[in-house]
Structure 1
Amino acid sequence: MSHKSMPPEYYQLLEDIQAVDFVLVELTLYLDTHPNDYEAIQQFNYYAKQSKMLKKEYEKRYGPLRQYGASYSGYPWSWDDTPWPWQV
């Protein structure tokens, strides 16, 4: 399947999202065993906010990122636009 080429900013934004979400996964695992670590909770909340902001920016520029109601769709329905994030 062929898809349109994307600007370098597209790939950088996806990389930033992946990096922040990786930090969130690691902090989640840590907090599962250290639930009273106040600093870790603060870090988790900071990165959760960063993740939301980056995903909002991605969707504003490039369309929906998440399915099943986690992202809104523009008109017309844009889920068939490629490349999809998991294809790059």
Structure 2
Amino acid sequence: MNCEKQLALLRKIQEMEFVAIELNLYLDTHPCDRDAINDFNCAVELLKKYKEKYECEYGPLLNFGFGGPSGEPWQWIQGPWPWEL
């Protein structure tokens, strides 16, 4: 396993989550800003792709059914967990 590659992808996920949250907060007070809506939609789409890539290569990011279906064996216990990197 290439830990540096995994950490880099995890960092991209964290950065894009930050962007999406900030744009979400901005849009709460500026709901008609079309550029911000477009930026938000792009951020969410990119975040989705990063998460799918991460989970395909390294396993689930979340448990309790939020990470999608699990393969065999039960993938959540396969380490390291994202916060253990």
Query: TM-score, normalised to structure 1's length?
Result: 0.88
Q: Distance in 1 between matches of 2:22 and 2:6?
A: 25
For these two proteins, the number of residue pairs brought into alignment is: 84
- Identity across the alignment (%): 45
- Structure richer in helix, relative to its length: 2
In the alignment, which of 57, 60, 72 is matched to residue 61 of structure 1? Answer: 57
After TM superposition, which residue ranges in structure 1, 4 or more long, deviate above 6 angstroms? none
Q: Secondary structure at the match of 1:82?
A: coil
In the alignment, which of 72, 75, 85 is matched to residue 75 of structure 1? Answer: 72
Matches within 5 A, 1:1-88: 6-71=2-67, 72-88=69-85
Query: TM-score, normalised to structure 2's length?
Result: 0.91
Where relative contact order (Cα < 8 A, 6+ residues apart) is larger, the structure is 1
Cα RMSD of the aligned pairs, angstroms, is 1.3
Q: Secondary structure at the match of 2:75?
A: coil
Q: Once structures 1 and 2 are overlaid, which stretch shifts more, 59-68 or 14-23?
A: 59-68
Q: Once structures 1 and 2 are overlaid, which stretch shifts more, 65-74 or 53-62?
A: 65-74
Gaps of 5+ in 2: none
Gaps of 5+ in 1: none
**Is 1:63–1:74's contact at 8 Å kept on the other side of the alignment?**
no
